[in-house]
Amino acid sequence: MTCRRVAVWTLLLALGCADPASEALPDGGSPGDLGNVSDADTGAPDRGSIPEDAGVGRDATPEPEDAGVPPMDAGVPPMDAGPPVDVGVDVGVKLDSGQAIDAGTMTATSCLAIKTADPSAVTGTYVVAIDGTPHQVFCDMDLDGGGWTNALLKNSAHAGAYPAFGASPLNLDNLGIDPAAASTSTVGVVGWLDLNATSYSELRLAAYSQGVRSFLSEPILRSSLRIAFGEPGYLLYNDPNGYYWCGGPRSYTDGAVGQINPPAGAPADCKTHTVLGSGWDFGGASYNTNMTMCGSDGFNAMLNGVTPGSWVNYPNAGVAYAIWIR
């Protein structure tokens, strides 16, 4: 204790404002050290519970030799001013409409991890860690036992070319949007995970028309994919479900150039398309049977997923496609 503090302490005793027995701190320091002792050391539940008279002897500028225990680390400040959500290991945070992400509260890496940790989890937008960074994703907790992560989302209001869909992360926070809602939105929406690097064992493709799911594929094993996302060619060619899925840049889909790992008997282009553009065709062996997503460098439209389907031209609202992974 410094000479200056001895003088202050003596003055407080003389004025009857301090009791040496009751005011002593756990580490033997003086009340002048209160500003440097954490709640965990004093036993107080929070700093607001410190008695008012304890501030009388608080030294705002403690000297190094009396620093005592350093203050508690405040941790990562939340991105949202609202109340934080306390969650356990492998439990994601469900977001209400318009709620921002609290960067310090999530630990889950997929919707399946959330559903496994909390079987009562309901369908909605959650926060998960993608490559260690918090992002919102829409989770389907009802379909086939739940735990499905929205890994790709694109609606007809978004006009663009999609030569390398699913190959590298794009607009990740768009994956927090409900695909059914995206189908009715006049705002263009597109985004996807890196489906080559993300961990999953199965996927499903789904189409949504005017707010209602209009097509849902059977589960597709990841191990049945023939090429990587981003490579031109057939991801599926008569898989166990009878699906054919080809896509890539227009040079391949319409121009028959650059196909990777061509299947025996397959055309050099994507299902003999001539105006698909940079996009994909998923469904049966013939073209345009279920989910065809043309590029703006081609037909500039999407099928609505209904059989027989109808087209919705970009950038009109009406259709959205999603890839779900688990």
The answer to whether residue 39 is domain-embedded is yes
Same domain, 57 and 169: no
The answer to whether residue 260 is domain-embedded is yes
Same domain, 152 and 250: yes
At a CB cut-off of 8 Å and minimum separation 6, what does 100 contact?
79, 80, 82
The answer to whether residue 136 is domain-embedded is no
Same domain, 62 and 151: no
**What number is the average pLDDT over the span 216-240?**
98
The answer to whether residue 81 is domain-embedded is no
Among 49, 66, 83, the domain boundary falls at 66
Same domain, 43 and 187: no
The answer to whether residue 256 is domain-embedded is yes
The answer to whether residue 76 is domain-embedded is no
Look at strands 148-155 and 190-192 and give their pairing.
antiparallel
Residue 124 has a CB neighbour count (10 Å cut-off) of 16
φ and ψ at 291, to 5 degrees?
-130, 105
pLDDT of residue 105: 55
Among 66, 81, 110, the domain boundary falls at 66
| Cα–Cα distance measured from residue 268 to residue 213, given in angstroms and rounded to the nearest whole number | 32
Same domain, 202 and 294: yes
**What number is the average pLDDT over the span 1-10?**
38
pLDDT of residue 15: 39
The answer to whether residue 74 is domain-embedded is no
Same domain, 171 and 311: yes
Among 19, 41, 66, the domain boundary falls at 66
Confidence of residue 97 (pLDDT cuts 50, 70, 90): low
| Cα–Cα distance measured from residue 320 to residue 307, given in angstroms and rounded to the nearest whole number | 16
Domain that holds residue 312: 147-325
Q: What's this model's pTM, rounded to 2 decimal places?
A: 0.71
The answer to whether residue 97 is domain-embedded is no
| DSSP-based three-state secondary structure for 243 | coil
pLDDT tens digits, one per residue of 10-27 = 333 343 444 434 433 334
Handedness of CA 150, 199, 114, 216 (dihedral sign): positive
Same domain, 44 and 157: no
CA-based nearest residue to 309, from 323, 293, 288: 288
**Cα angle: 20, vertex 26, 27; to 5 degrees:** 100
Confidence of residue 50 (pLDDT cuts 50, 70, 90): very low
Same domain, 62 and 160: no
Q: For 87-96, 113-122, 165-174, 269-278, which range has the lowest pLDDT when averaged over its residues? A: 87-96
Residue 45 has a CB neighbour count (10 Å cut-off) of 8
Residue 200 has a CB neighbour count (10 Å cut-off) of 16
pLDDT tens digits, one per residue of 267-326 = 999 999 999 999 999 999 999 999 999 999 999 999 999 978 899 999 999 999 999 999
| Cα–Cα distance measured from residue 39 to residue 263, given in angstroms and rounded to the nearest whole number | 67
pLDDT tens digits, one per residue of 229-284 = 999 999 999 999 999 999 999 999 999 999 999 999 999 999 999 999 999 999 99
pLDDT of residue 235: 98
Same domain, 59 and 152: no
CA-based nearest residue to 105, from 130, 121, 120, 127: 127
Same domain, 55 and 176: no
Same domain, 165 and 254: yes
Same domain, 42 and 161: no
- How many structural domains comprise the chain? 2
